[in-house]
Structure 1
Amino acid sequence: MSSLPAARPRPAATVNAEIRALMLRSGGRLAASDRARYVELLAEWARRSAIPSDLRRRIRPWTCPMT
């Protein structure tokens, strides 16, 4: 039985582009399913970026101030 090779982590810039695309598609108002995906992407981005671990714990999902 052969195992699949482990997937390489995506660069932070790639994850950031996906976050931006999600926000643009939604017009800034995320549906519940999009919000869940946004939180997943934000956590992935934080893991991939050069943010110190003590600041990573304080990152909160962005919400539009107009809502």
Structure 2
Amino acid sequence: MSTTVESLSERSAAEINEEIRALWRRSGGTLSVEQREEYQRLVLEWAAAPHSVEAA
């Protein structure tokens, strides 16, 4: 599995972050090799995604 982001994400950083959180919840806190690969892909996608800045 490639860990490169082939194109800019069309999803927001918040959407990707929720998918990352769901992955951790499903894993019970310990990622398998396959889950780690998915996590790495998601983190790269998150880094490339548009991030909104919200006022506190």
| Count of aligned pairs between the two proteins | 43
Q: Tell me the equivalent position of 1:11.
A: 12
Q: Which runs of 5+ in 2 are unaligned?
A: 1-8, 52-56
Identity across matched positions, percent: 47
RMSD after superposition:
1.4
- Residue 27 of structure 1 pairs with residue 10 of structure 2: no
* Deviation string, structure 1 residues 4-53 (Cα, Å, up to 9, x no partner): xxxx7111100000000000100110000000000000000011154xxx
Distance in structure 1 (CA, Å) of the matches to 2:27 and 2:50:
24
Q: Which runs of 4+ in 1 moved over 3 A?
A: none
